[in-house]
Amino acid sequence: MKVFRLLFALSIVVTVAAAFSSCGQIGSISGGLKDTLPPVLVSSTPKPNTVHFTGNKITLNFDEYIDEPLDIQSNLLVSPYPKTQPEIRTKLKTVTVKIKDTLQPNTTYAINFGKLIKDVNEGNVLKNFTYVFSTGNYIDSLSLAGRVEIAENGKTDSTLLVLLYRDAVDSTVQHSKPTYMAFVNGKGYFLFTNLPEGSYRLYALKDNDGGKTYNSKSEMFAFMDEPVHVTNQMDTSIVLYAYAEEKQEKNVSTSVLKPKPGPFKRLKFTSDVAGGKQDIRENMVLDFNKPIKTFDSTKIILTDTNYNPVKGYAVSLDSDKVFIKNKWIPDFDYRLIVNKAAVADSTDSIMVKTDTLHFKSKAESDYGNVVLRFSHLDFAKHPVLQFIQGDDIKYAYPITSGEWRNKLFTPGEYELRILFDDNNNGKWDPGSYEKKRQPEKVVTLPKKISIRENWDNESEINL
C-alpha cells in the first residue's frame, strides 16, 4: 500500500511538470557545471591531411554553435603565406574557408585559426586549431622551433611575429612577404610545422603597419646571422633577440594652444628635498620654472644650522637646474640660502625674495646594506648590474668580481637585470640589420629583490 501511494505521488509531480512545460513561458534550468570545453571538430570536407587537394573551399563541422570570427587579420595564419587571405564564414556549427589565392603545386598548406574558433554560449576558444592539406602526394612534416627575447630587457612580447623565408637573400625581408609565419606565445616560444626540408632565413618582427616586411628602424626586429637548415633533426636552441634600432617618435599635436590671460609668472624654483631628506649620495637639485639667462654661484650659500658656511661644496648650473655638490654629513641639519639675485631669466627678472631652505641629510640607517654574490657570470662580456623600478633604470653598476657590495642603498623593491655591455660604454646598444650587428643582451633575473632600510640584504645569484 505504501509503495502504491509513493508511485501515485510521483505521477502527480510528473503531471504538474508536464503541464508547466506546455505553457507559453520558457524557463532555464539553473545549476550544473559550466561548459569550459572548446568546440570539437566532428567532420570536415575535405578531411584533414588530404593530399592532391584541388578545390577552393573547406568546410569544418563542430559539435557546438560557433561564434562569428573577429579580428581575422591578427589571428589567421596561412602557410605558405598567401597573396590574398582566405574568406572565413561561420553558420551555426559550421566554419567555411574559401580560398582566394592560387595554390602552388606539390605544396603542403597549414591554416592556423589562432583564437577565431570559439563557441557561442561560453566563448570557449579552440586555440591554434590548424587544418592541413597538400596539393601534392604527401604532407610535409618537418618542424622548426625557437624563442624570441627582447634584447633590452630579456623579456618576451607575444605580439611579435616570426617570419620564415625559403631560399632568400638578406634583403628579402625588407621588400617581400614571408613564405611562412608563426605566432609567439606568452613565454616567447614559436613553432613552425609542416615544413619541407631546405634552407631558410629567420626573423622576428613587430609588424606595426601590417605590411609583413621590415621597413622601419623603429619597428621591433630580430634576425639570425646565418640561414637555418630544416632537416629531420629539429634544432630547438634557436633564440632571436629583438630590438628597435631607433626609438619610435611620439605623436606631437600640431595645434597651438593660446596662453590664458593671467598674471606674469614669477621666477621661482622647487627642490628635490622639499618635504623629505637630502640623499647623502646625490647632489642637491634646484629646478627653476623658467630658462636661466644669468647665474651667480656666490649668491647660493650652504650653511649649518647656525648659518656657518659649509666648506668644500660647489654650485653649478645646467640648463634650468642648479646643482649643489657636497660631501654630505649623515643625519645633519643644513641651511641653503638662495639670494633673490642669484639667477635671472631671459627678461632679466629675478626672484621676489631671498629664500632659505631648512633640511636634514639622511642617516646611514635610512639605507640598506646590499651584498650580491654572483656565480657563472662571464666578466669578459663587461656585465652591468641594473636596478629597475617600473620601466626606469634607477641605478646601474659595472660588475668586476663575483661579489658586489653597497652599504648605502635606497630601500625599495627592484627588478634586477644584467646587461652584457659588449662595447663597454655603460649603456645598452641596439643592433643594426644593415651592419649585421646583433644587439647587446640583457638578462632579467626571475626574482625581484626587496631592500630594507637599516638591514643586511644578501642574495646569491646563479646565472
Say how many residues make up the chain: 463
Q: What is the mean pLDDT of the chain?
A: 88
The per-residue pLDDT for 54 is 94
pLDDT bracket for residue 34 (50, 70, 90): confident
Indicate if 164 and 189 belong to the same structural domain.
yes
Indicate if 361 and 376 belong to the same structural domain.
no
Q: Is residue 388 part of a domain?
A: yes
Indicate if 344 and 387 belong to the same structural domain.
no
Q: Which residues pair with 110 in a beta bridge?
A: 79, 132
Helix, strand, coil abundance in the chain, percent, nearest 5: 10, 40, 50
Q: Is residue 34 part of a domain?
A: no
Indicate if 90 and 62 belong to the same structural domain.
yes
Closest to 325 measured CA to CA, from 314, 338, 336, 312: 314
**DSSP-assigned states of every residue in 211-240:** -SS---TTS-EEE-SS-EEE-SS----EEE
Q: Is the distance from CB of 54 to CB of 135 less than 8 angstroms?
A: yes
Q: How many CA atoms lie within 13 A of 172 on its CB side?
A: 17
All 3 cell numbers of residue 385?
648590474
**Overall average pLDDT of the 402-406 stretch:** 96
Report helix, strand or coil for 21.
helix
Q: Residue 260: CB partners within 8 Å, gap ≥ 6?
A: none
**Overall average pLDDT of the 304-309 stretch:** 95
The per-residue pLDDT for 31 is 52
pLDDT bracket for residue 6 (50, 70, 90): very low
What is the bridge-based pairing of β-strands 57-62 and 41-45?
A: antiparallel
CATH number at residue 293: 2.60.40.1220
Q: Is residue 20 part of a domain?
A: no
CA 291 to CA 344: how far, in whole Å? 9
- Of the candidates 134, 169, 198, which is a domain's last residue? 134
CATH number at residue 221: 2.60.40.10
Q: To 5 degrees, how large is the angle CA 151–CA 155–CA 160?
A: 80
Q: Which residue has the cell 635671472?
A: 344
- Is pLDDT above 90 for 274? no
Q: Is the distance from CB of 326 to CB of 335 less than 8 angstroms?
A: no
CA 72 to CA 15: how far, in whole Å? 51
Q: Is the distance from CB of 242 to CB of 149 less than 8 angstroms?
A: yes
Quick: pLDDT tens for 215-267: 999 999 999 999 999 998 877 789 999 999 998 765 544 444 444 444 557 89
Indicate if 381 and 346 belong to the same structural domain.
no
Indicate if 404 and 358 belong to the same structural domain.
no
- Is pLDDT above 70 for 12? no
The distance between the two most distant Cα atoms of the chain, rounded to a whole number of Å, is: 114
CA 45 to CA 81: how far, in whole Å? 22
- Is pLDDT above 60 for 290? yes
- Of the candidates 116, 134, 152, which is a domain's last residue? 134
Q: Is residue 261 part of a domain?
A: no
Indicate if 357 and 434 belong to the same structural domain.
no
All 3 cell numbers of residue 227?
640561414
What percentage of the chain carries pLDDT values higher than 90?
79
92: left (phi over 0), alpha (psi -120 to 50) or beta: left
Indicate if 295 and 372 belong to the same structural domain.
no
Indicate if 403 and 429 belong to the same structural domain.
yes
For the chain, what is the domain count? 4
Q: Is residue 24 part of a domain?
A: no
Indicate if 106 and 180 belong to the same structural domain.
no
The per-residue pLDDT for 198 is 93
Cβ-defined contacts of 63-66 (< 8 Å, 24+): 63/39, 63/93, 64/39, 64/40, 64/93, 64/119, 64/120, 64/121, 65/92, 65/93, 65/119, 65/120, 65/121, 66/39, 66/90, 66/92, 66/93, 66/94, 66/95, 66/117, 66/118, 66/119, 66/120
Closest to 419 measured CA to CA, from 453, 451, 396: 396
CATH number at residue 397: 2.60.40.1120
CA 72 to CA 114: how far, in whole Å? 9
Q: Is residue 109 part of a domain?
A: yes
How many other CB atoms are found less than 10 A from the CB of residue 227?
A: 16
- Is pLDDT above 80 for 89? yes
All 3 cell numbers of residue 432?
643594426
Q: Is the distance from CB of 203 to CB of 177 less than 8 angstroms?
A: no
Q: Is the distance from CB of 206 to CB of 221 less than 8 angstroms?
A: yes
Q: How many CA atoms lie within 13 A of 2 on its CB side?
A: 0
Indicate if 455 and 386 belong to the same structural domain.
yes
Q: Is residue 21 part of a domain?
A: no
The per-residue pLDDT for 13 is 37
Boundaries of domain holding 105 = 41-134
**Overall average pLDDT of the 200-216 stretch:** 93
Q: Is residue 343 part of a domain?
A: yes
**Eight-class DSSP state of 171:** T
Least confident of 25-34, 227-236, 367-376, 391-400: 25-34
- Of the candidates 101, 134, 167, which is a domain's last residue? 134
CA 458 to CA 120: how far, in whole Å? 53
Indicate if 168 and 210 belong to the same structural domain.
yes
When computed from its CA atoms, the radius of gyration of the chain, rounded to whole angstroms, is 34
CA 323 to CA 151: how far, in whole Å? 35
